[in-house]
Amino acid sequence: MVTGSQPSTKRQARNPSARQPLCARLKTDYKPDTKVQHMLDFAGALHEFDTVYAGSKKMSRSLCTVDGKFIDEINLIGKDKKRLEEYYKWQFIYALMKGRGYPQDYIGAEINLPKGNIGSTPIKIDACVFSDVK
């Protein structure tokens, strides 16, 4: 008689790899440490930005180009002492650069991309990473 806590011998005979981890059964080279490390670096960079700009109301200069040029004196905190949208945008860009290692030349902010129609307004992207500097 087989108890409920132990697997039957028929089941083990049919699927001997049932006790192996999923990545071994799928024969992949998955290494969870690498992806987790990137996420920790990204989260650490987000926290680092909070630490660096904790008491600052303004950022002295943009971290990357904004619509093709660097800008100075970016407001991060509003009059009501709350973080502005700009704070979170630059926090994200900072984390991309520090936590993920994207070079400054490959990141752009406030990018305007034209649409196909002549009279239509362009698409405006807050931040993006390019694969080429051209």
Q: Model confidence over 65-91: pLDDT tens digits? A: 898 899 999 999 999 999 999 999 999
Alpha helices in the chain (DSSP H): 9-14, 22-25, 32-52, 85-99
In DSSP terms, 83 is beta-bridged to: 77
Q: Is the pTM of this model over 0.85?
A: no
Task: Examine the pLDDT at 30 and tell me if it is beyond 70.
Answer: no
The full set of domain ranges for the chain reads: 19-129
Task: Work out the end-to-end distance of the chain between its first and last CA atoms, rounded to an integer number of angstroms.
Answer: 72
The set of residues, in sequence order, having a beta carbon less than 8 Å from that of 114 and lying 6+ positions away, is 122, 123
| Per-residue pLDDT tens digits for 104-132 | 888 989 988 888 888 888 888 888 888 87
Structure tokens at 105: 């030349």
Neighbours of 96 (CB within 10 A): 21
